[in-house]
Amino acid sequence: MVFARKVWKLLVGIKDGLVLIFMLLFFALLYAVLTMRPSAEAVRDGALFLQLDGVVVEEPSPIDPFEAIFAPGELVTEYRARDLVASIEDAAEDDRIKAVVLDLSRFLGGGFVHMQEIGAALEAASEAGKPVYVHSLFYTDDSMLLAAHADEVWLDPLGAALIAGPGGEGLYFGGLLDRLNINVRVYKVGTFKDAVEPFSQQRASPESLAARQALYDDLWELYRQEVVRARPDMQIERITSAPAEWIEGANGDTAQAALDAGLVDKLGSWEEFGEYIADKVGESRWDESAGAFAHTDFDTYDANRSVDEPGRPIAVVTVAGEIVDGDAGPGTAGGDRIADLIDEAATDDDLAALVLRVDSPGGSVTASDAIRRALLRVKAKDIPIVVSMANVAASGGYWVSTPADRIFAEPGTITGSIGIFGIIPTFEDFLADYDVYTDGVRTTPLSGQPDPIAGFTPEIDRIIQANIEAGYARFVGIVAENRGWDPARVDTVGQGRVWSGVAARQNGLVDAMGGLNTALAYAAEAAELGEGEWHARYLGTERQQFGTLIEQLTRDERGTDAVARDVISYAAQRRKLALQLASVRMERLVGGAAGMQALCLECEAGVAARPIADEGGFWTRLASYLR
């Protein structure tokens, strides 16, 4: 019997081993299938068709194939801004492309700077003889800014077009946390550093409101100037100063109101629009559905673009999303990952210059400084460093910009916010309401501290505040050294205040206005390189010829729950974004904001619209289940 039991255990062990091996092989094969990239299709004669079912970003987040399958919510498609611009620019010179057509019915925006960049490319295509046509069920601020650069703007007869302008209200949890007797310990430096206020107050401070009003006034004026320049007949004052009267004047018909006010040129269904485009560019030979026309979609066209790389490389490193410690990203700015990219670039003896492209509201001070120190190591080799700011480069986003020889921003960039804070909730009073207390002995004032359950001693409070003040002094000192200013001057434009790119240029926080191409040209000039003697090399975000199979299979499903088809669904979408932002902030309070933070409150909406970074992903969680 003993021998039989041993044989049985051996057989069971072999069986379990074989099952494990086959499971691993199965998952490995499944992963390979889901992540394989199909070959590029050919570009067809007709239109370049940009069906933007998602959001435009500086740097897309990678898609975990298993998350795409098993995620409980919808996945939002992310389009890299520079890929869209490059495809439109190439199409302007491509004889196969007769027009550029955009479908913005499921478009979720992407920020003023990115809309300007894409809009400029659309204008250039139109001037090159490639007319631009746009159709949507609903236009909002960003989609209207894009559409304004088109030759013809169409709207569904049941649709609407509304321009809200920047600004709005956010949630403040101070009263709720007081009622729950949760002590939110706030440590900060900066009169205008208002990222802590949602947790400590019931309303925004007068300083916060004043700073935000000045910022939004700048951004609103820039927006109005841009749309009126591109679309002079638009009655923007009418539709924004008295929107209810405007809609009521059209008997509640939002589509007719948009037509009357010059926001759109024609009303028509997608099928009618498609037939109109087919007359311009030709009928589709592969699709017989109503509204089909000859076209090449963005993925196919982008996959077939050729990239010319003459001369020496100018490295472009992207800092996009919230800055966090570790290797997170792309799409989230993991400090260690980005520092490694910068160090890797510096090992290339042929490197001519480095451009840091920043589109970040900031975040961890330690991660921001890791990126800054990596840039200083490059600078020590006499390699020119230039910063290009996109939609946002505030707080930690400005911290990482300080080593630059020159900082470029767009007029609509949000920057500054030079300030530091820390937030730690403690629960001693909350527990006392339920007769739960703590007790013990200490050998020093720091014994057992910091203790979020029993509360903080006065000594630990003083130590943390002193550390925050030292962090702010360091921030001010870094800026002063880079700008060649006295620290007192930095403090006057610091204190956590945010500025538009225009205001930042006026107060000296940035050196010049211009986009990424301007920054690259300046970097080439600093490296004493002429035209044709250099090329941009984007590090860490290589352009793939095609999305993975799972990306393409799930694309039709992504963003379908976020379609704003009328005013009611638009309101629902705004509510959803507000709840996402509230969730991000509460996550930050409870456990997401470890350590000192240099983060911009006014810049957080973009963070809420994107998925929270998960460095481990599916495989890490699978491994944890098998342990």
Q: Among all residues, which ones are annotated catalytic?
A: 193, 395
347 close to 562: Cβ distance less than 8 angstroms:
no
C-alpha pair distances (Å), 555 with each of 69, 88, 295, 610: 11, 21, 18, 16
Question: Which residue, among 422, 421, 423, 416, has the nearest Cα to 491 in the 3D structure?
Answer: 416
Give 281-288's long-range contacts (Cβ < 8 A, gap of 24+).
281/45, 281/46, 281/47, 281/98, 281/99, 281/101, 282/45, 282/46, 282/98, 284/46
In 3D, which of 540, 609, 537, 542 has the Cα closest to residue 361? 609
Instruction: Reduce the DSSP state of residue 553 to 3 states and report it.
Output: helix
Q: What is the three-class DSSP state of 535?
A: strand
Reference 48, options 5, 17, 92; nearest CA is 92
Instruction: List residues bridging with 598 in a β-sheet.
Output: 363
Amino acid at 622: L
Query: 135: which strand partners?
Result: 103, 154
C-alpha to C-alpha distance for 396 and 323, rounded to whole angstroms = 7
**Helix/strand/coil for 153:** strand
For residue 174, give Cα distances in angstroms to 178, 185, 193, 287, 340: 6, 11, 16, 56, 40
**Amino acid sitting at position 408:** F
The residues, ordered by sequence, that sit 6+ positions from 101 with a Cβ below 8 Å of its Cβ are 47, 48, 49, 50, 132, 133, 134, 135, 277, 281, 293, 295
Preceding peptide of 450 cis, ω within 30°: yes
What are the tokens at 200? 């400590």
* Cβ-based neighbours of 319, under 8 Å, separated by 6 or more: 333, 338, 356, 357, 358, 359, 360, 371, 397, 400
